[in-house]
Every structure is written in structure tokens, then in C-alpha cells.
Amino acid sequence: MNSKHLNIAICMLFLMVLFFSGLITDVKGEEGKTTIKEGYSEKEEYKEKAKEKLDEFDKKIEELEVKAKEAGSKAKAGANKGLLELKEKRATLKKDMERLEASSKGTWETAKRKVNQAMADLEKTYDKVRSHFK
């Protein structure tokens, strides 16, 4: 292998390292297909929004716990049972979000669907528990 071929090989290797390390992220995909950068951004953006939503639920759950402590015995019994269910669903959502975090490009959509379902389930349960205080 002569010096010219060696230099070309080193340059190609250097570019591959830069590309895969994320230093070069402006990659143009085929028309209609998601590029590496866009797929990554979508996942990160979704994770941030899901985390914000989970934080909101944590605050709502805390508010319900305070109301449950102040409620009468009949409302308190129903609310405590509902709060337990709400916390279980919140734990399920947290596990689904951890799977989303670890998801690959191939499993991303499935993990995202599970998080969406768990989020909707948590919202429904929250509404049910909240109704004990009306």
C-alpha cells in the first residue's frame, strides 16, 4: 500500500470517527426518511416532554394526598385506595420511560406507544381518584 492510499484511508477513518461520535451531525437522508440527527432529536424532545408530564403527575398526586388527609372517613377510604392504584400506575409509567430511554431505533416506536398508553392510563386513574373529592 503506497503513501497516497494510506493517507486516504486515514482521512476516511477520521471522518468516520467524527461522524459516529456526533461531531458531524448535518447528515442528509433520502427524501422522506428521517436522518440520524432528526431521529435523535425527536426521541430527546419526546423524553423531555414525558418527563415534564411525569413531574406534573407527581405534583398532582401530592395534592391529592394532602386532600385525602383532610377528607372525611368515607372519602378518605376511597381516596387512599385510589392513591395506591395511582402510585402503581405511576411506577409502571416510570418503568416504561426507562425502557424508552434504553430503546434502540428499532424499538423506539413500540416504547413510545407504551409510554403514551401508560400516560393515558395514569391520567384516567387520576381523574377517578380526584372525583372522590368533589
pLDDT tens-digit profile of 81-93? 889 999 999 999 9
User: What pLDDT digit, counting tens, does each position of 48-78 carry?
Assistant: 999 999 999 999 999 998 888 887 777 777 7
pLDDT at 21: 54
Residues in the chain: 134
- 118 contacts 92 by C-beta, under 8 angstroms: yes
> Measured in Å, how far apart are the chain's first and last C-alpha atoms?
81
Spatial separation of the C-alpha atoms in residues 68 and 64, rounded to whole Å: 6
The candidate with the shortest Cα–Cα distance to 110, out of 61, 118, 51, 90, is 118
Helix ranges restricted to H, 33-107: 36-70, 73-102
Per-residue pLDDT at 13: 60
The angle subtended at Cα 129 by Cα 80 and Cα 124, nearest 5°, is 135
Q: pLDDT band for position 119 (50/70/90)? A: very high
* Euclidean distance between CA atoms 71 and 66, whole angstroms: 9
Place of cell 406534573: 56
pLDDT at position 40 over 70: no
pTM: 0.65
How is residue 41 written as a grid cell?
432529536
Q: What is the pLDDT of residue 92?
A: 93
